[in-house]
Amino acid sequence: MRRLFLSSSLRGRSPKQSPRWQMRLLRAIALLAMTIVMVSCAPINLNAPLPTFETGIDPNTWAQVPAGEFYFGQHEDIESTGAYEIMVTDVTVSQYADFLNAALADGYVKLDAEKIVSFYPGDEYNGTKHEERIEAGNWLFIPLDDPSQRIKFDGTIFSFQEGYANHPMTSVTWFGAWGYCKYYDARLPPKWNGKKPRAALRQAQEHTSLPWGDEILRENANFYSSRDPFEDMSSFGSRTSPVGFYNGKNYGGSHTIDSTSPYGLYDMAGNVWQWTGDIYEGMHYRFMRGGSKDTYDMDLRVWVRNNATPTYYSPGVGFRCVR
């Protein structure tokens, strides 16, 4: 009776032949699965059309953060900070293009083949394990030939890729972020566990892990699999959203929740990692905070940090300035 349940291709085969046929079948299935995986992992289209939305948020706006106490780390310590100003949004692609046009004209930056470079005074070298020298000299600000670079250069003028004017500036090194802030008499935010969390979310009486509270929904921020209109993992992958996108507005069929910090800052969590300015003794690495479009929601919490060499750049890393 068992033979009635065998496929017609197995009928009449000897017991020694059936396992061999099954092995062939398994190999065919494995090959098919591999083909599907390879197709699904095909290169994404970095220049696929993207929706254009005006958020109504002015990236030239700065917020005032008063002096006061704040929670340090995961709420275990309290420290204090003086008053300062911080950009309401990340620096945009349009703002960085304007900077490069001004900085190239006055010699602050230079064109070196397909790279924009500028002088950096170097860091103290302590000779610790794994530490690399950061000496005085010209260092990379941005690459112009990277496929994900949204800054364009025609040999005379810097501009931005269509549709990305109000998106955060990415594919910028730590040096490129540091140089932008310095050019405008500002600096990168120091010590995210210091000034930046206070600006992001909390005074000493506030026990929240995110700029807007403790709960994170897909409508709060741009993170991996947030299903925002700038993400399609089957084709172009994950892309940045315009600065200030998560302000409570509806964009076509996309609803957002107002996810500003208590001081009115946008995108302090998600969208892009943000370079910070502190340089630690015996380390050449630079730190960044905030999570990005390419990380899971757990990385958006205020105490999570990431690090990279100062020459690192990525479509998921940007910055803002303080003064």
Number of domains composing the chain? 1
What letters, b where the CB count within 10 A reaches 16 and e where it falls short, cover 86-100? bbbbbbbbbbbbebb
Measure the CA–CA gap between 284 and 194, rounded to whole angstroms.
Answer: 20
* Enclosing H/E stretch for 29: helix 17-40
- Cα atoms found within 13 Å of the Cα of residue 191, Cβ hemisphere only: 12
* CA-based nearest residue to 96, from 149, 134, 41: 149
What are the average pLDDT values for consecutive 10-residue runs of the chain, which has 323 residues? 37 48 64 50 70 94 82 61 90 98 98 97 96 97 96 97 97 98 95 50 58 92 93 82 97 92 92 95 95 94 92 98 95
∠ CA 113-316-236 to the nearest 5 degrees? Answer: 95
Q: Which CATH number belongs to the domain containing residue 169 in this structure?
A: 3.90.1580.10
pTM value is: 0.82
Structure-block tokens of residue 259: 């996810």
CB-based contact 99:171 (threshold 8 Å): no
What letters, b where the CB count within 10 A reaches 16 and e where it falls short, cover 262-286? bbebbbbbbbbbbbbbebeeebbbb
Residue 125: partners with Cβ closer than 8 Å, 6 or more residues away: 131, 133, 134, 135
Is residue 39 in some structural domain? no
Q: Is the dihedral of CA 265, 270, 275, 278 positive or negative?
A: positive
Burial label, 75 (beta-carbon count in 10 A; 0-12, 13-18, 19+): middle
Is residue 38 in some structural domain? no
What does each C-alpha distance from 319 to 189, 228, 315 come to in angstroms?
A: 9, 21, 12
| DSSP sequence for 115-130 | EEEEEE--------TT
CA 283 to chain centroid: 22
Instruction: Provide the domain limits for residue 159.
Output: 62-318
Measure the CA–CA gap between 29 and 78, rounded to whole angstroms.
Answer: 59
Structure-block tokens of residue 19: 């396992």
Please report the pLDDT score of residue 205 as a whole number.
42
Structure-block tokens of residue 56: 């109504």
3-state DSSP assignment of residue 300 = helix
Measure the CA–CA gap between 70 and 79, rounded to whole angstroms.
Answer: 6
3-state DSSP assignment of residue 183 = helix
Please report the pLDDT score of residue 66 as a whole number.
83
Please report the pLDDT score of residue 49 as a whole number.
79
Is residue 79 in some structural domain? yes
Please report the pLDDT score of residue 15 as a whole number.
42
Is residue 172 in some structural domain? yes
Please report the pLDDT score of residue 207 as a whole number.
60
Is residue 309 in some structural domain? yes
